[in-house]
Amino acid sequence: MEQHRTRPARYGRYGPRRDRPAEPPLPPPAGRAAGGGVARPVRPARVPVSRPTPPPAVRRLPNPRLTGLGLSLFCGLVALVLGLLTDALFGSSGTVYGVLFLPVCVLTALWVREGDLLVAPVVVPIAFAVGLVPLADGGDGTGGRLMGMVTGLATQAGWLYGGTLVTSLIVLGRRVRRVRGINRRVARNRPRP
C-alpha cells in the first residue's frame, strides 16, 4: 500500500515559501531513507582484483559438470564407441580397449557434479560392460554373445578394476577436498567467544 507524504507548513504548492527563512530539512525517521524507503547500509566500493589469465591451451579445456544421468550417458556412449573402434581397427583386442577406457574413467571422475560424486564409481563398470558388447567373441545367437560377454569380463577384469579404482580415488579426493572446504567456511563463520 502506498503512503502519501504530506508537506510541512513551510512549503507552499510550488516549493519553499519565500516569506519564511529556510529551515534545514528534518532527518528521516530511524530505519527510513529520505525518499520514504528503507535505508540500506552503505557498502564500501569493491576494488577490482586482477587475476592472471591462464595460458590459451588451459583456457580452452572443457570443464563440464555432469549429473548422474548425463554421466551415465557420456560414459556408456564413449565406451561403446571405443568398443566399436577397437573391434574395427584392432580386431577385438581387449587390452587396447582397456587402455583406451582408462582416460574415460578419469574424465568421468573429473566431470561429475559435486552432488553426484558417488555415481561415478557405479557408472564405470556398467559402461565397461557396454563397451565390451562389440568385442564379445561368441557363436551365433544370444547365448553365444552372452558367453562372449562373460568371457570378456573375466579376462579383462584387471582393466575393469583398474578403471573403477582410478575413478574411486579421484572421486574420494574431490569429496575430501569439498568437506574440508565446507569445514573451513563453517569455522570461519562461527562466532568467537
Spell out the per-residue pLDDT of the chain, length 193, in tens: 566 656 555 555 666 566 666 666 666 655 555 555 555 666 666 666 677 776 665 555 567 788 889 999 999 999 999 999 998 888 878 889 999 999 999 999 999 988 888 899 999 999 999 999 888 877 778 888 888 888 888 888 999 999 999 999 999 999 999 889 888 888 888 887 7
156-160-163-168 Cα dihedral, nearest 10 degrees: -160
Please report the pLDDT score of residue 162 as a whole number: 94
Give the cell for residue 41.
547500509
Please report the pLDDT score of residue 9 as a whole number: 56
Please report the pLDDT score of residue 193 as a whole number: 73
146-147-150-154 Cα dihedral, nearest 10 degrees: -160
Please report the pLDDT score of residue 189 as a whole number: 83
CB-side exposure of 141: number of CA atoms within 13 Å? 4
- Assessment of whether the complete model's pTM goes beyond 0.75: no
Buried b / exposed e along 1-24 (16+ C-beta atoms within 10 A): eeeeeeeeeeeeeeeeeeeeeeee
Please report the pLDDT score of residue 141 as a whole number: 80
Between CA 6 and CA 29 the distance in angstroms is 15
